[in-house]
Amino acid sequence: DAGVIQSPRHEVTEMGQEVTLRCKPISGHDYLFWYRQTMMRGLELLIYFNNNVPIDDSGMPEDRFSAKMPNASFSTLKIQPSEPRDSAVYFCASSFGGEETQYFGPGTRLLVL
């Protein structure tokens, strides 16, 4: 079975540019999560969806960040405009049920110059 798929795996961009990260959850999973991992803050939840509806976006750092889930098999995390402090690894995870194990994608390593 295919796991969570994320693209791109690596992204290098310049400050001020728009960045779009993509995620395809495991088929049949009804929860999708976006996490960010940095050395300073560790792993933190940004936002999560249930049945394509955003449930909790309290972890989204600021208005420059937005996330969408137009259908059950696709989600995007957009940063516009990007800043150097956004440099991090962004993980997407999915689960079948809110209290079940979350399975992570390989992550997108973002570097904003």
Partner 1 sequence: AQKITQTQPGMFVQEKEAVTLDCTYDTSDPSYGLFWYKQPSSGEMIFLIYQGSYDQQNATEGRYSLNFQKARKSANLVISASQLGDSAMYFCAMREDEYTGTASKLTFGTGTRLQVTL
- For partner 1, the binding residues (CB under 8 A) are 31, 33, 42-45, 48, 50, 55-56, 89, 91, 93, 95, 98-99, 101-107, 109
Cα dist from 107 to 16, 18, 49, 110, whole Å: 22, 18, 18, 9
Shortest Å, Cβ 107 to partner 1: 5
Shortest Å, Cβ 67 to partner 1: 15
Other CB atoms within 10 Å distance of the CB of residue 105? 22
Using the minimum distance from each CB to partner 1, give the nearer residue, 74 or 103: 103
Q: Which two tokens stand for residue 78?
A: 């957009």
Shortest Å, Cβ 84 to partner 1: 20
Using the minimum distance from each CB to partner 1, give the nearer residue, 35 or 65: 35
* Sign of the alpha-carbon dihedral angle for 26, 31, 35, 41: negative
Using the minimum distance from each CB to partner 1, give the nearer residue, 74 or 104: 104
> Alpha-carbon distance 68 to 45, whole Å?
15
